[in-house]
């Protein structure tokens, strides 16, 4: 009887070195030294079948890391990102298999996505093809098989997964191995995501959250901003309980295009370390002490224990689109990224267009083009009261010289059209009734229109006759009025006449005639000096503060004579601070009992980021 050897009892002695791993200098024969018998029948070694499997090494090494490294205990479907970088040498075959094991206590492991060098692969089971992947999960271990091997050394392989965190606090580590087939290489912890400043670890800690115990609120120093302007944000943090909240971090998910200004973070006025360069910006506060309610109003107020103030600045980047409102989302967390310890708050800042640099201006003329050459020659006068219409529906009427203009025009190819129906009777277009104007931000563009106005000379009346005519009219002596515009006074027919006057002056104490504004955006109250003539006869007064467009910002008024000095806190009627980059107008108006009225010269304030410039006009009106 002839029997094939069974591996359970047959001993195969072979000295084999396979090519690709450690290739021998010469071939080595396989020597069959199997011995044995079954039921008294001796083994026939000539019938022995030997199977040799070649073990291929995928990589010579690998390093990996996982994020986050701190999670909330008992949190279901906690997301993780696992990054692996295999080290592939010349004799290695590459990586087709990644085997990962979650730390003890984590359950319900699910792999949700795979990326290679930033390229998303598609799920393709059971036999993935190039560009695909497939996963098999057994307990806390997932085996990810790729459709094509990763053969580039240190290529970033990213696996997204979720798992339920353990119910109790504790810590553990992921186990990661890579392979081409069955010969695996264990990955060590290291910088696999390209960020050397993060944890670069495979360890994970599950922590119990302190709970939502902080009340936070974010307020920007302005509601509108231009591209390039700096917005100062303030976050007020209040502990609602009597015990400390530790390891507090404020996270601001700032809107796209808003960038952190280095060195501007302050915690209770003390410089704070800069957050990571990209949003969300995370500020490490440490401990917010338990509330000590000194005034008994039930909340931690500024100056009381349990209140902290965070301030920082963001600059509006060039990618922010004018006309849109950009909102920040702010929350406080403790040690883990999912451990929220406050309410979710935020604020919005609307990005507005710069009238000087974000818009264009169109100017032009409508003229009598008598020779129809589309050019205004000498003797070709402008046409008054002609109407030119812009493609957005706005229109301009020409002045006595035929001139028109459009300000704050949106950039792009804009169409202008001359309204033929508004030209003088008998007129016609000499060249074109419409023009396309390429409007560039901050640039002045010109567009002229030529029209042909037909005129005729006619004589009316009777022929001249010899004779004479008599005409009478009343004669009045001229009235001579002499006055001075800087100091309102007048002399009528040689008799002095007293005119009512009103004067407004910004009282400054600095030698350079400016009011300083600090980096925190705060302006000290402004002292205004008010002076009027005949104060005993004043019935009412008003001090108007308007913006550059003439819209009312703040009004002070009263009955009787105004005070000699008035303090303005540099805020509008709703309590908002005046804005940098804006022009403000101040004017004092006075009504007298005899129904006369006086107004001061307009006082202009130009607000810069660091100072407020006072510009005084000397002319007045009455």
Q: Is the pLDDT of residue 510 over 80?
A: no
Confidence bin at 613 (pLDDT 50/70/90): very low
Q: Is the pLDDT of residue 619 over 50?
A: no
Confidence bin at 513 (pLDDT 50/70/90): very low
My answer on whether 564 and 448 are in the same domain is: no
My answer on whether 398 and 333 are in the same domain is: no
User: Do the domain assignments include residue 198?
Assistant: yes
Question: What per-residue confidence (pLDDT) applies to 4?
Answer: 42
User: Do the domain assignments include residue 132?
Assistant: yes
Question: What per-residue confidence (pLDDT) applies to 5?
Answer: 41
Supply the range of the domain harboring residue 95. Answer: 61-207
My answer on whether 43 and 84 are in the same domain is: no
Question: What per-residue confidence (pLDDT) applies to 8?
Answer: 35
**Cα–chain center distance at 60:** 45
User: Do the domain assignments include residue 226?
Assistant: no
Q: Is the pLDDT of residue 469 over 80?
A: no
Range with lowest mean pLDDT among 61-70, 284-293, 602-611: 602-611
Q: How many domains are there within the chain?
A: 5
Q: What is the pTM of this model?
A: 0.46
Confidence bin at 422 (pLDDT 50/70/90): confident
CA distance 59 to 72: 35
Confidence bin at 219 (pLDDT 50/70/90): very high
Question: What per-residue confidence (pLDDT) applies to 441?
Answer: 82
Confidence bin at 565 (pLDDT 50/70/90): confident
Question: Is pLDDT larger for residue 482 or for residue 101?
Answer: 101
My answer on whether 602 and 525 are in the same domain is: yes
Confidence bin at 237 (pLDDT 50/70/90): very high
My answer on whether 88 and 196 are in the same domain is: yes
Given 190, 207, 224, the domain boundary residue is 207
Strand pairing report for 360-368 and 444-446? parallel
Per residue in 168-204, pLDDT tens? 989 999 999 999 987 889 999 999 999 888 889 999 9
Can you tell me which residue has the tokens 């002695």? 13
- Ranked by mean pLDDT, which of 4-8, 309-313, 404-408 comes out on top? 309-313
Averaged pLDDT, 207-229:
91
Write out the two tokens for 107: 């359950």
Confidence bin at 55 (pLDDT 50/70/90): low
User: Do the domain assignments include residue 584?
Assistant: yes
CA distance 532 to 524: 26
Phi-psi region at 194: left, alpha or beta (left = phi > 0; alpha = psi -120 to 50): left
Question: Is pLDDT larger for residue 27 or for residue 597?
Answer: 597
Phi-psi region at 461: left, alpha or beta (left = phi > 0; alpha = psi -120 to 50): left
Question: What per-residue confidence (pLDDT) applies to 486?
Answer: 52
Averaged pLDDT, 585-608:
83
CATH number of the domain within which 134 lies: 2.60.40.740
Confidence bin at 530 (pLDDT 50/70/90): confident
My answer on whether 140 and 42 are in the same domain is: no
Range with lowest mean pLDDT among 3-12, 79-88, 156-165: 3-12
* CB contact burial 523-538 (16+ within 10 A = b; e otherwise): beebebebebbbeebb
- Ranked by mean pLDDT, which of 31-40, 208-217, 302-311, 379-388 comes out on top? 302-311
Question: What per-residue confidence (pLDDT) applies to 475?
Answer: 62
Question: What per-residue confidence (pLDDT) applies to 75?
Answer: 87
């Amino acid at each position: 009887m002839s029997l094939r050897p069974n591996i359970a009892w047959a001993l195969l002695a072979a000295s084999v070195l396979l090519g690709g791993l450690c290739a021998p200098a010469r071939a080595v024969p396989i020597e069959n030294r199997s011995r044995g018998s079954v039921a008294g029948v001796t083994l026939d070694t000539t019938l022995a079948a030997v199977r040799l499997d070649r073990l291929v090494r995928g990589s010579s090494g690998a390093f990996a890391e996982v994020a986050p490294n701190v999670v909330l205990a008992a949190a279901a479907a906690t997301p993780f990102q696992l990054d692996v970088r295999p080290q592939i040498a010349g004799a290695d075959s590459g990586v087709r298999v990644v085997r990962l094991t979650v730390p003890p206590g984590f359950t319900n492991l699910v792999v949700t996505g795979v990326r290679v060098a930033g390229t998303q692969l598609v799920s393709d089971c059971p036999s993935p093809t190039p560009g695909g992947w497939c996963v098999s999960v057994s307990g806390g271990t997932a085996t990810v098989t790729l459709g094509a091997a990763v053969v580039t050394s240190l290529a970033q392989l990213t696996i997204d997964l979720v798992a339920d965190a353990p119910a109790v606090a504790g810590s553990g580590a992921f186990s990661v191995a890579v392979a081409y087939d069955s010969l695996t290489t264990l990955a060590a912890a290291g910088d696999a995501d390209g960020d050397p400043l993060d944890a670069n670890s495979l360890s994970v800690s599950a922590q119990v959250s302190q709970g939502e115990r902080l009340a936070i609120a974010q307020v920007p120093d302005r509601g509108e901003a231009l591209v390039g302007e700096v917005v100062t944000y303030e976050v007020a943090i209040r502990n609602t309980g009597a015990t400390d909240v530790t390891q507090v971090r404020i996270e601001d998910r700032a809107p796209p295009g808003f960038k952190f200004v280095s060195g501007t973070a302050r915690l209770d006025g003390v410089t704070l370390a800069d957050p990571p360069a990209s949003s969300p910006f995370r500020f490490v506060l440490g401990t917010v002490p338990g509330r000590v309610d000194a005034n008994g109003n039930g909340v931690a107020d500024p100056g009381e224990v349990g209140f902290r103030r965070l301030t920082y600045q963001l600059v509006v980047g060039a990618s922010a689109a004018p006309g849109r409102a950009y909102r920040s989302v702010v929350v406080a967390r403790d040690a883990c990224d999912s451990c929220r310890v406050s309410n979710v708050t935020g604020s919005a800042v609307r990005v507005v267009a710069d009238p000087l640099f974000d818009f264009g201006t169109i100017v032009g003329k409508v003229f009598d083009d008598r020779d129809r050459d589309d050019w205004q020659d000498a003797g070709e006068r402008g046409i008054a009261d002609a109407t030119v219409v812009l493609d957005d529906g706005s229109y301009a009427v020409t002045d006595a010289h035929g001139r028109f203009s459009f300000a704050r025009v949106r950039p792009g190819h804009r169409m202008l059209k001359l309204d033929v129906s508004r030209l003088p009777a008998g007129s016609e277009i000499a060249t074109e009734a419409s023009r396309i104007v390429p409007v560039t931000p901050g640039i002045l563009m010109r567009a002229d229109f030529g029209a042909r106005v037909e005129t005729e000379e006619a004589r009316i009346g009777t022929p001249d006759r010899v004779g004479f005519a008599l005409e009478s009219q009343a004669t009045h002596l001229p009235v001579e009025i002499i006055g001075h515009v800087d100091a309102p006074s007048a002399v009528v027919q040689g008799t002095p006449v007293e005119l009512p006057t009103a004067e407004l002056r910004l009282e400054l104490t600095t030698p350079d005639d400016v009011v300083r504004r600090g980096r925190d955006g705060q302006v000290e109250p402004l002292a205004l000096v008010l002076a009027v003539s005949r104060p005993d006869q004043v019935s009412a007064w008003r001090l108007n503060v308007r913006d550059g467009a003439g819209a009312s910002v703040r009004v002070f008024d009263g009955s009787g004579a105004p005070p000699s000095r008035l303090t303005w806190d540099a805020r509008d009627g709703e309590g908002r601070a005046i804005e940098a980059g804006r022009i403000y107008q101040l004017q004092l108006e006075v009504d007298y009992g005899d129904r006369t009225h006086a107004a001061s010269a307009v006082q202009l304030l130009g607000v810069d980021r660091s100072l407020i410039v006072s510009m005084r006009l000397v002319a007045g009106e009455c």
